[in-house]
A and B are shown apart, each in its own frame.
Chain A
Amino acid sequence: MKQILLILQREFNTRVRKKSFIIITLITPILFAALMVLPTYLMSRDDEKARNIAVVDLGQRFSNVLESTENLRFSYITDTPIDQLKTTFEKAGYYGLLVIDTLSNNPDPQLTMYAHKQPSVTVLSHITRTLEKEVESRKLTSYNIENLDQIMANVKTKLSCATINISSDGKEKKSSTMVAMALAYILGFIIYMMVMLTGNMVMQGVIEEKHDRVIEVIISSIKPFNLMMGKILGIASVSLVQIVAWIVLTLALSSVAMSFLGFSTDPTAMAGVDPSIAQEVNINTSTNEMLQAIQNLDFGLIIGSFVFFFLFGYLLYAALFAAAGSAVENESDTQQLVLPITIPMMLGLFVMISAIKAPDSTLVQWCSLIPFTSPVVMLARIPFGVPTWEIILSGALLLATFVGVTYIAAKIYRVGILMYGKKATFKEIWKWMRYKN
């Protein structure tokens, strides 16, 4: 135990003190924060700039329908021909030239926007929606219905569908598919990334020891299994520290940046959703619902199973990566040995993506039980609600597989680390597994 701790300490200290570790730990949150803040910032910058748009209303039927807003100023031009305007509008300070053409028998106008840059969706949707409303109300007026305004007000309907999960004991909870999807994706992806990155670090560490020829010196003082476990746990603690640092720094940086730039941390603004579109899906109510749904998530279960599935998923794969590393002497030789390890993990990722769409499909169900894919897939299923027995079964299978795989990996590792000069084939590794101690 003391020896495992010594190995763990060495792995941790040498890695955490590396310049590359410090740089990556500091730079990544800056990138993440920038990714969160910049789109909102740019969007608001874009909107702040008031734009002048020249309007030519050929049929004279929509005069002054387009009213200037804070960001868009419409100027109706009547005295200049279109062809001339097309060449001069930019010099005259206009962002674009809108031509409203009307055909004699058609109440709908034909709209054309001339601009040197692609006009933004916000601008176009503002124009079309304003004119649509105008045309609609004109059409309605033409039917000469009495008390039209009142009728319209009565007719107007807005529906939303609340989703409520009923648990087996009959309790009702507000839920949100959006939240579940987002959470599922984030959890599954974090586990995938962590296992792959950290597993690779383990493999490189094993190769380094072999390459530096220090392995036999160490192995004369410590059992190979202890060395392997110390290394795996040490590297896990390094990436745990890194992840915590990333989360804390990203949140801190982005909230500092947000408040510095003067935004509220309103989720609609954060998400960079076009306000007009947001209005259409009625994002305000759904934001409330989402918050409620988030509060209603079983965080105990999610955090608990995240820790469990991450830990044992990582340990399972790390042992395999360690075994692969022990069988080669150079990183360039790892390709063919790593492939069988990464394939189940990749499969897990793909199934996880389909789990977000259909969390109860048979494929997803099976993959959330099979130990090599379960860490990723089960985590993605949990926010949607999974029967307890399935979680327990999946966890038990993972645990049992971890023990078995680690036992076999340790056997390969024990022989592999002392083999020099030849690249191991799968056949040879199979032989090593059957060597007696």
Chain B
Amino acid sequence: MCIEAQKTGINLHTISQNTIFANNLRLTSIMNLLETHGLEKCYGNYQALTDLSVAVPQGSIYGLLGPNGAGKTTFIRIINQITGPDKGQVLFAGKPLSSTDIYRIGYLPEERGLYRKMKVGEQALFLAQLKGLDRASATKRLKHWFEKFEIQSWWDKKIEELSKGMAQKIQFMVTVIHEPELLIFDEPFSGFDPINAQIIRDEIINLRKQGTTIIFSTHNMASVEQMCDHITLINKSRNILSGNIDEVRRTHGGNVYSIQFSGNIDSLTNITAQSEAPFEIMHHNSERNELQLRSNLPTTNALLGLLMQHIEVLAFKPLVASMDDIFISAVKEYNQSHGIKTV
């Protein structure tokens, strides 16, 4: 019998991140860098946010998930003070958000770009100065970043002369140039090829190691699983699911197990035919003698005990639900319970 995690690599990764996280917590004492309480926002008759409360722990990578039009961008814009909430409160580092806090926040919007006809260096300086840096230190930091990315020769080029990927690198750079305490990325990987996406991913992890808190809004669930510590799922303007990612995956995993066996499964199918069956068979591969089933029993042992009465269990492993599945089922469930048709 062999009980193992399915996605070993990824889980190990999460563990190492958690260790860092724990270290950070120990150093900085437990606090939330950003908290919102009961945010409401409507545009005319359109309700963009309803009673939205989230807490973003200091030093975490916080995933902001949700279907298109759920209200993620409105939420982000409120934090960036691009727009104000109709109701509710935003606390930044324990104090109500003030206008100078924009210098402590970096924001990479989904609809992003740079002045196409402006030179790279000049433009980066301009944006850095807008974020409160003085000219001298902005120049110094930019030179450092240009060396790091090995793009010194781009300084006098116009953005329109660069490829999309190159421009995105510059964009990332100017987002983090003022070394903000909170970074907000809206779909950060769109527009990057896999190699450059990896560079940016490493850069983000690096920033987190230095203590930066990161909010991540994305549809890319793989990167959420890989990087995020906490998530909030927004649907139809509301926070419908929130918490530590491992906890979320455990509680919303749906108790799905993969089993390798020998023997006849007819007796198992007979059990599932009963009303209020203890488990249901989701998938059966008869050639390889593999089963996937969802358990309705309270413990894993109970399920295992029941199975052992009917078949010879060769391997047994819990399947951790992917964020994709959790996302889809949570949205569906919410929409059904509120009588909203899922398109």
**B116 lies within 8 A of A220 (CB):** no
**A212 lies within 8 A of B114 (CB):** yes
Q: Is A10 interfacial (CB-CB < 8 Å)?
A: yes
Q: A437 vs B130: C-alpha distance in the bound complex, in angstroms? A: 22
**B116 lies within 8 A of A212 (CB):** yes
11 contacts between A and B (CB under 8 A): A6-B126, A209-B115, A213-B113, A216-B107, A217-B107, A217-B114, A220-B107, A221-B127, A222-B130, A224-B82, A437-B84
**B86 lies within 8 A of A436 (CB):** yes
* A173-227 contacts to B (CB < 8 Å): 208-209, 212-214, 216-222, 224
- Hey, which chain B residues are within 8 Å of A418, CB to CB? 77, 82
**B111 lies within 8 A of A218 (CB):** no
- Give A7's nearest chain B residue, CB to CB: B130
Q: Is A426 interfacial (CB-CB < 8 Å)?
A: no
- Hey, which chain B residues are within 8 Å of A209, CB to CB? 115
Q: Is A362 interfacial (CB-CB < 8 Å)?
A: no
**A221 lies within 8 A of B126 (CB):** no
Q: A103 vs B112: C-alpha distance in the bound complex, in angstroms? A: 90
**A437 lies within 8 A of B83 (CB):** yes
Task: From B43, B109, B131, B132, give the contact of A435 (CB < 8 A).
Answer: B43
Asked, given contacts A10-B126, A14-B117, A222-B130, whether A217 binds B112 with beta carbons under 8 Å apart, the answer is yes
| Minimum Cβ distance to chain A for residue B27 (Å) | 29
| Minimum Cβ distance to chain A for residue B157 (Å) | 15
Residue from A6, A221, A222, A436 whose CB has the most chain B CB atoms within 10 Å: A221
- Give B159's nearest chain A residue, CB to CB: A212
| Minimum Cβ distance to chain A for residue B332 (Å) | 27
Contact indicator per residue, chain B 8-33, by CB within 8 Å of chain A (1) or not (0):
00000000000000000000000000
Q: A14 vs B118: C-alpha distance in the bound complex, in angstroms? A: 7
Contact indicator per residue, chain A 419-437, by CB within 8 Å of chain B (1) or not (0):
0100000000001001111
New A-B contacts (7) at CB < 8 Å, excluding given A218-B127, A220-B82, A224-B82:
A6-B129, A208-B117, A216-B109, A216-B111, A217-B174, A218-B130, A431-B44
| Minimum Cβ distance to chain B for residue A433 (Å) | 11
| Minimum Cβ distance to chain A for residue B133 (Å) | 11
| Minimum Cβ distance to chain B for residue A284 (Å) | 55
**A217 lies within 8 A of B127 (CB):** yes
- Hey, which chain B residues are within 8 Å of A10, CB to CB? 126
For the complex of A and B, list the 7 residue pairs with the smallest distance between their C-beta atoms, beginning with the closest: A213-B113, A216-B109, A221-B130, A220-B107, A220-B80, A437-B84, A212-B113
Q: Is B105 interfacial (CB-CB < 8 Å)?
A: yes
Q: Is B102 interfacial (CB-CB < 8 Å)?
A: yes
Q: A3 vs B127: C-alpha distance in the bound complex, in angstroms? A: 11
- Hey, which chain B residues are within 8 Å of A414, CB to CB? 83
* B97-139 contacts to A (CB < 8 Å): 102-103, 105, 107-109, 111-118, 126-127, 129-132
* A75-132 contacts to B (CB < 8 Å): none
| Minimum Cβ distance to chain A for residue B1 (Å) | 54
* Interface residue tally for chain A (C-beta within 8 Å): 25
Q: A408 vs B41: C-alpha distance in the bound complex, in angstroms? A: 21
Q: A220 vs B83: C-alpha distance in the bound complex, in angstroms? A: 10
| B residues at A contact (CB < 8 Å) | 43-44, 77, 80-84, 86, 102-103, 105, 107-109, 111-118, 126-127, 129-132, 171, 174-175
Asked, given contacts A14-B117, A214-B115, whether A219 binds B82 with beta carbons under 8 Å apart, the answer is yes
**A220 lies within 8 A of B102 (CB):** yes
**B115 lies within 8 A of A212 (CB):** yes
| Minimum Cβ distance to chain B for residue A26 (Å) | 21
**A213 lies within 8 A of B111 (CB):** yes
- Hey, which chain B residues are within 8 Å of A222, CB to CB? 130
Q: A414 vs B77: C-alpha distance in the bound complex, in angstroms? A: 12
**A221 lies within 8 A of B131 (CB):** yes
- Hey, which chain A residues are within 8 Å of B132, CB to CB? 221
- Hey, which chain A residues are within 8 Å of B107, CB to CB? 216-217, 220
- Hey, which chain A residues are within 8 Å of B77, CB to CB? 418
- Hey, which chain A residues are within 8 Å of B115, CB to CB? 14, 208-209, 212, 214
- Give B119's nearest chain A residue, CB to CB: A14
- Hey, which chain A residues are within 8 Å of B175, CB to CB? 217
- Give A434's nearest chain B residue, CB to CB: B44
- Give A213's nearest chain B residue, CB to CB: B113
- Give B82's nearest chain A residue, CB to CB: A219
Contact indicator per residue, chain A 216-248, by CB within 8 Å of chain B (1) or not (0):
111111101000000000000000000000000
Q: A435 vs B81: C-alpha distance in the bound complex, in angstroms? A: 15
Asked, given contacts A3-B130, A212-B116, A220-B105, whether A436 binds B82 with beta carbons under 8 Å apart, the answer is no
Q: A280 vs B142: C-alpha distance in the bound complex, in angstroms? A: 74
Asked, given contacts A219-B82, A435-B44, whether A213 binds B102 with beta carbons under 8 Å apart, the answer is no
- Hey, which chain B residues are within 8 Å of A217, CB to CB? 107-109, 112-114, 127, 171, 174-175
**B113 lies within 8 A of A214 (CB):** yes
**A6 lies within 8 A of B117 (CB):** no
| Minimum Cβ distance to chain B for residue A206 (Å) | 13
**B82 lies within 8 A of A214 (CB):** no
- Give A436's nearest chain B residue, CB to CB: B86
**A213 lies within 8 A of B112 (CB):** yes
Asked, given contacts A220-B82, A437-B84, whether A214 binds B114 with beta carbons under 8 Å apart, the answer is yes
Residue from A3, A220, A222, A420 whose CB has the most chain B CB atoms within 10 Å: A220
| Minimum Cβ distance to chain A for residue B172 (Å) | 11
- Give B106's nearest chain A residue, CB to CB: A220
Q: A431 vs B174: C-alpha distance in the bound complex, in angstroms? A: 34
Q: A214 vs B167: C-alpha distance in the bound complex, in angstroms? A: 12
Q: A10 vs B126: C-alpha distance in the bound complex, in angstroms? A: 8
| Minimum Cβ distance to chain A for residue B320 (Å) | 36
- Hey, which chain B residues are within 8 Å of A221, CB to CB? 102-103, 127, 130-132
| Minimum Cβ distance to chain A for residue B80 (Å) | 4
**A6 lies within 8 A of B82 (CB):** no
- Hey, which chain A residues are within 8 Å of B174, CB to CB? 217
- Hey, which chain B residues are within 8 Å of A212, CB to CB? 113-116
Q: A436 vs B114: C-alpha distance in the bound complex, in angstroms? A: 29
- Hey, which chain A residues are within 8 Å of B108, CB to CB? 217
Q: A209 vs B117: C-alpha distance in the bound complex, in angstroms? A: 11
| Minimum Cβ distance to chain B for residue A340 (Å) | 22
Q: A6 vs B102: C-alpha distance in the bound complex, in angstroms? A: 16
**B84 lies within 8 A of A220 (CB):** no
Q: A224 vs B83: C-alpha distance in the bound complex, in angstroms? A: 10
- Hey, which chain A residues are within 8 Å of B116, CB to CB? 212
Q: A427 vs B44: C-alpha distance in the bound complex, in angstroms? A: 12
